[in-house]
Amino acid sequence: MNSGDEGLSKPVWKGHSPVWEDRWARFSQGLIQGGISAAKHDFFRNWVRKFFAFIRPRKFDQATQEDVAYYLTSLVGEGKKGWQVNQASQALELFYREVVPQTWAQRDWPKTPEVDASGEMSARPAPLNRPPVSGERIEALKLRTDQGELDAHRQGLVQAAEVRLRTERYAYRTEQTYLEWIRRFLVFAGDVGRSDFNTVQLEDYLDYLTLVRRVSASTQNQALNAVLFFFKAVLDCQVGVLEGVARAPASRRLPVVLTKSEVAQLFGEMDGVGLLMAQLMYGAGLRVMECMRLRVQDIDFGNGYIVVREGKGNKDRRAPLPKVVVSRLQEHLREVEVRWKKDREQGVEGVFLPDALSLKYPKAEKEWGWFWLFPSEQLSDDPWTGKIRRHHVGAGGVQQLVKRAATRAGLVKPVSPHTLRHSFATHLLESGSDIRTVQELLGHADVSTTMIYTHVLNKPGVAVKSPLDL
C-alpha cells in the first residue's frame, strides 16, 4: 500500500456528526458519478482530511485557492507520486466545487505538476511563499501552547526519537535538548496522526516561537534542528519537503573579552578548585564542558599539553598546559586520588566511559587514568545505564562561581566561563599568534568562526604560548 493510503482500513467519516455524514455521502456520490471505484473512495477522502490538517488552525471553509496550491506543492516535496498528487487535487476539486461550494473553486483550479510517461513528476515546482503574518494569525497562535502532557501514542513518538538519537550517537546533552523540543512540538501540533505531519505544523511552531514566545534566533534554530531530526529519523519524511523551511538569521555579535588585568582581577576573587578550573579554561581555551569532562590521563605533564577528547563536533584536539598551574594541578591530582581509592574500597561503580569502552575494556572504568579530573562530591544516577556512580562536577556550579567572582571583582561586563575562552583567543592574537593556529587550538571547523576575534592584527610565525604564562 502506498504512503498516501496508510491508515485507511476504516472509513474516515465514522463518528462524525450527521452534517458531516451527509457531506461524505455527497462526496461519495460525486466520486461514483466521476467513475471512481468504491474501493478508492477512502483514499480520496483521506486527501481531503489531510488538507484539513494542513490548513489548521483555520477551518475547512476558510481555505483559499493558494492553500490548495501550497498543499499540492508540499505533497510533491514529500516525494508523493504524480498520480497521488493528481488524486489529491481531484478530491479537493470535487469537495470544494460540489460538496461545500466555494466561489474561488469555481474559477481556474490550481494546476498540478505535469507527469511524465513513467508516472513520476517531470519537474518539482518551487515551494510557494507563505502568506505574510497577519494580526489574525498572531492572535490564532496565541491561543495555542507547547506546554502540557502527551498521550501514550505521542509519548511513544518521543521514545522512538530517543532510540534514534542514541543509535546515531548524539551527545547526552544534545539528546535531552532535542527530546524536550520534540515533546513541545508534539504538544503544540495537537491530535495529529503520524501520517498527517507536514511542514505546515513545523512552520506554525516556528512562527509561534518567534511571534508569541519571542525566542532568539539561535533558540528557534535549535528547535528547528530538533524537529527536523524528528521528521527525518522518526517519521521518515523525505528530505525534499524540509528543504524549504527557512531558518532564522543568526545574530552576529562580538564576544565579551576581558583584558589581562581584568582576568587577574577575576582570578584574585577565586580560590581552590574553582580557581584551577577557571585558569584551565582561560589558559587552554577550554569550553566549560570540555574542562568538566577532563580525565586524569588527559593531562600530559611531560609534553606540556592537555588532550581535549570528544569536543564540539566529536573531535579531539590538544591544548597548551599552562606552566603556572602545573604544581597546583599535581597537588589537586593527589587529593583526587584519595577519593578514587575510597571509591574503590567502598565498591562504587566505575566512571562512565564513552563508546561502549566498558564492554571492550571491563576494568577500565575503575582505573585511575579514566577517573575524572574534577569529580563530583556526590554520587549520582548514570542516565545511560541506571548505575550509581561518581560523575564529574556540573557546569552550573562553575558558572555561578565565575559570575560571583566577577561581581566581587567589580567587573561590569557580563562574565561567564565562556568569556575566558574568548579572552584566550583574543590574547593569543594580541601576542602574535596566527589565525590558523588559534583556529586549531579552539577546535573550530572553519576559520570564519575564528575570524570574529580578528579585531587585532595577527602576526604569523610566532611560537604559541599560553596567555597565562605571558
Are residues 296 and 155 part of one domain? no
Does residue 434 form part of some domain? Answer: yes
Are residues 403 and 281 part of one domain? yes
| CATH code for the domain in which residue 74 is found | 1.10.150
Active site residue 444: yes
Question: Among 97, 144, 232, 312, which one carries the catalytic annotation?
Answer: 312
Are residues 449 and 329 part of one domain? yes
Per-residue pLDDT tens digits of the chain, which is 470 residues long: 333 333 333 334 444 567 777 788 888 888 888 888 887 888 888 888 888 877 776 778 888 877 788 788 777 766 677 788 888 888 888 888 888 888 878 777 777 655 443 444 444 443 444 455 567 777 888 888 889 888 888 888 899 999 888 888 787 788 889 999 999 999 988 887 777 777 778 888 888 888 888 887 778 888 888 888 888 888 877 544 455 455 555 556 678 889 999 999 999 999 999 999 999 999 999 999 999 999 999 999 999 999 998 877 778 899 999 999 999 999 999 999 999 999 999 988 888 887 667 677 878 889 999 999 999 998 888 877 778 889 999 888 899 999 999 999 999 999 999 999 999 998 988 888 888 888 888 888 777 777 777 754 444 444 567 788 77
| CATH code for the domain in which residue 358 is found | 1.10.443.10
Question: Among 287, 366, 390, 427, which one carries the catalytic annotation?
Answer: 287
Does residue 133 form part of some domain? Answer: no
Active site residue 295: no
Does residue 51 form part of some domain? Answer: yes
Active site residue 70: no
Are residues 278 and 232 part of one domain? no
Q: Which residue reads 492553500 in cell numbers?
A: 67
Question: Among 144, 318, 418, 465, which one carries the catalytic annotation?
Answer: 418
Q: Tell which of 114, 149, 166 closes a domain.
A: 114
| Confidence at residue 330, expressed as pLDDT on a 0 to 100 scale | 95
| Confidence at residue 238, expressed as pLDDT on a 0 to 100 scale | 58
Radius of gyration of the chain (CA): 29
Note the pTM of the prediction, 2 decimals.
0.59
| Confidence at residue 361, expressed as pLDDT on a 0 to 100 scale | 80
**Number of folded domains in the chain?**
3
| Grid cell in block for residue 85 | 498528487
Does residue 120 form part of some domain? Answer: no
Are residues 198 and 232 part of one domain? yes
Are residues 158 and 33 part of one domain? no
Its domain, for residue 397, covers 260-453
Are residues 204 and 151 part of one domain? yes
Does residue 464 form part of some domain? Answer: no
Are residues 397 and 295 part of one domain? yes
Does residue 319 form part of some domain? Answer: yes
Q: How far apart are CA 379 and CA 388, in angstroms?
A: 6
Are residues 294 and 406 part of one domain? yes
| Grid cell in block for residue 409 | 571583582
| CATH code for the domain in which residue 183 is found | 1.10.150.130
Active site residue 214: no
Are residues 346 and 446 part of one domain? yes
Active site residue 312: yes
Are residues 230 and 267 part of one domain? no
Does residue 253 form part of some domain? Answer: no
Tell me the three-class secondary structure of the chain, residue by residue. Answer: CCHHHCCCCCCCCCCCCHHHHHHHHHHHHHHHHCCCCHHHHHHHHHHHHHHHHHHCCCCHHHCCHHHHHHHHHHHHHCCCCHHHHHHHHHHHHHHHHHHCCCCHHHCCCCCCCCECCCCCECCCCCCCCCCCCCHHHHHHHHCCCCCCCCCHHHHHHHHHHHHHHHHCCCCHHHHHHHHHHHHHHHHHHCCCCHHHCCHHHHHHHHHHHHHCCCCCHHHHHHHHHHHHHHHHHHCCCCHHHHCCCCCCCCCCCCCCCCCHHHHHHHHHCCCHHHHHHHHHHHHHCCCHHHHHCCEHHHEECCCCEEEECCCCCCCCEEEECCHHHHHHHHHHHHHHHHHHHHHHHCCCECCCCCCCHHHHCCCHHHCHHHCECCEEEEEEECCCCCCEEEEECCHHHHHHHHHHHHHHCCCCCCCCHHHHHHHHHHHHHHCCCCHHHHHHHHCCCCHHHHHHHCCCCCCCCCCCCCHHHC
Are residues 194 and 157 part of one domain? yes
Question: Among 293, 421, 422, 427, which one carries the catalytic annotation?
Answer: 421
Does residue 126 form part of some domain? Answer: no
